[in-house]
Structure 1
Amino acid sequence: MLATTTRTAVTLEDVVKTYPGGVRALDGVSLSVDAGTFLAVMGPSGSGKSTLMHCAAGLDTPTSGRAFIEGTEISRLNETKRTELRRARVGFIFQQYNLLPSLSVADNITLPLRLAGAAPDREWIGTLVDRVGLAGRLHHRPSELSGGQQQRVAVARALVSRPAVVFADEPTGALDIRTAREVLDLLRALVDEFGQTVVMVTHDPAAAARADLALVMADGRIADTIVAPAAPHLARRLTELETE
């Protein structure tokens, strides 16, 4: 287990993912992430970190092995059922925000609920909006916001359905250093204050150092599991892997 809690948010059991041409992106990966954990996934280009996230989130299916979210085996669901599960129990944060430009901040945040046909919890939405610092921006369009503010909208959108896990794919990759730090502070606070589970794929050792635990991928396998990761250690390990 990655933390001492009573509930497992994400599990992979001996997951293999092979693409056409025989490329093995994941080679027997097993992983268990307890609820309330902030996990960073790192590795050189082509190491399998993005494929791991896609299989864990139900965006892709393993060639073999099993993937679970809160005990539900998503790897055996058909595409319709996987989509329904993602809408209800998974949040996503992307590098490029993926906000709809024609919608207001408020409508972007609540979009997952509308797509799922779920009623909004106004109290929870108010808590989220306050926590991400967007109370005065709800009627603005994304084009009227800074990059950091847009990513805050994306964070609130990811959390609006109270998901079992939030997957963040290079969430600070398009931000300057100061704004990236603010977004990482926010993700860390969501874990600490709300017990949110976050799985973040990143190439940045400084970003990964904000997590409780870092997985370092190489050649489709977990090469290292580092508790309380430090940026210099992660940077050295990545350099070693890239030169092996």
Structure 2
Amino acid sequence: MSSPLSREPVSALPGTDTGTDTETAVLLSEVHRGYSDGDGLVAALAGVSLRVPRGSFLAVMGPSGSGKSTLLNCASGLDAVDSGRVMVGGTDISTLKEPNRTQFRRDRVGFVFQAYNLVSTLTAEDNITLPLRLSDRRMDPEWVRGLVERMGIGERLRHRPAELSGGQQQRVAIVRALATRPDIVFADEPTGALDAESARRTLALLRDVVDDLGQTVVMVTHDPRAAATAHTTAVMAGGQIVDLMRQPSASDLAERLASFEQS
């Protein structure tokens, strides 16, 4: 595998790019998304263009209301866009109706959430294989076994979520997200509910699956230390990407975020 420093950087692109090349995991082209706050229409995304290459790790940061969660929701197909184009793995998901987007997410996208979203009545093993069963796809035992070993949860597969620590639950959720070999994994504040050591280990594992397995990860986080784990951080403000920081340190990111509070 190439070193992280030699990877092609995430880039903001003009809206004319089609994103059909095989090296692009996700591409947003002039994406707009608004919502009503009771007083009028708020532009959550105001013409965002972004290209994420395959095998890269992108963090998305910004002050509250900057549009980072909306970016994740639109890029993953959880939300429809008002205008613009969203390409994931060569498929234009911005043209899909909700039932088709749901199918696409189930088959081609992995999710890791702050709240883990494990089914409490199922064992860790059954939680991992649930997406495969829902999509009626055969499991690759060797792939899943390798993920389980990498995450260090081999001895916990027969346990239910309530019998696992927060860090163990999140590692189960990461294996579940990767079990289908998705085009991309979206992580929404994946360390928000974890103690410092569990958070550190979870972030290291996410970086490992990118560097060692070639997975693509886009992570929304408020924590500069978490974002510093990624190859590139997109900084958002006012519904736009205002900065793309390559290999930033946690202190660099904290200083950049502080600049919004001072302005």
Is the shorter-chain TM-score for this pair beyond 0.5, marking a shared fold?
Answer: yes
For residues 197 and 126 of structure 1, what CA distance do their matches in structure 2 show?
20
User: Which of 45, 59, 73 does residue 26 from structure 1 map onto?
Assistant: 45
Q: Residue 5 of structure 2 corresponds to which residue in structure 1?
A: none
For residues 91 and 186 of structure 1, what CA distance do their matches in structure 2 show?
15
Q: Residue 115 of structure 1 corresponds to which residue in structure 2?
A: 134
For residues 90 and 250 of structure 2, what CA distance do their matches in structure 1 show?
33
Q: Residue 146 of structure 1 corresponds to which residue in structure 2?
A: 165
For residues 6 and 192 of structure 1, what CA distance do their matches in structure 2 show?
18
For residues 182 and 48 of structure 1, what CA distance do their matches in structure 2 show?
27
CA spacing shift, 1:71–1:38, aligned 2, 3 Å? same
Seq. identity, %? 59
For residues 160 and 6 of structure 1, what CA distance do their matches in structure 2 show?
21
For residues 70 and 2 of structure 1, what CA distance do their matches in structure 2 show?
17
Q: Residue 15 of structure 2 corresponds to which residue in structure 1?
A: none
Q: Is the 8 A contact 2:60 2:235 kept in 1?
A: yes
SS at match of 2:154: coil
1:49 aligns with 2:68: yes
Q: Residue 2 of structure 1 corresponds to which residue in structure 2?
A: 9
1:10-159 to 2 correspondence within 5 Å? 10-20=26-36, 21-159=40-178
State the Cα distance separating 1:196 from its structure 2 match.
0.4
State the Cα distance separating 1:223 from its structure 2 match.
1.0
State the Cα distance separating 1:76 from its structure 2 match.
0.6
State the Cα distance separating 1:3 from its structure 2 match.
5.4
SS at match of 1:195: coil
State the Cα distance separating 1:243 from its structure 2 match.
2.7
Q: With the length of structure 2 as denominator, give the TM-score of the two structures.
A: 0.91
The answer for unaligned runs of 5 or more in structure 1 is none
State the Cα distance separating 1:242 from its structure 2 match.
2.4
Q: Could you say what the CA RMSD is over the residues aligned between the two structures, in angstroms?
A: 1.3
Q: What's the CA shift string for 1:193-242, capped at 9, x where partnerless? A: 10000000000000000100000000000011000111111001101112
State the Cα distance separating 1:84 from its structure 2 match.
1.0
**What is the identity, as a one-letter code, of the residue corresponding to 2:9?**
L
User: Which of 172, 181, 201 does residue 191 from structure 2 map onto?
Assistant: 172
**What is the identity, as a one-letter code, of the residue corresponding to 1:206?**
R
Q: With the length of structure 1 as denominator, give the TM-score of the two structures.
A: 0.98
**What is the identity, as a one-letter code, of the residue corresponding to 2:132?**
L
SS at match of 1:173: coil
- The worse-fitting range, judged by mean Cα deviation, of 80-89 and 91-100 is 80-89
For residues 50 and 136 of structure 1, what CA distance do their matches in structure 2 show?
34
State the Cα distance separating 1:2 from its structure 2 match.
2.6
State the Cα distance separating 1:6 from its structure 2 match.
5.6
For residues 146 and 18 of structure 1, what CA distance do their matches in structure 2 show?
38
Q: How many residues align?
A: 244
The answer for unaligned runs of 5 or more in structure 2 is 1-7, 12-20
State the Cα distance separating 1:70 from its structure 2 match.
1.1
Q: Is the 8 A contact 1:6 1:34 kept in 2?
A: no
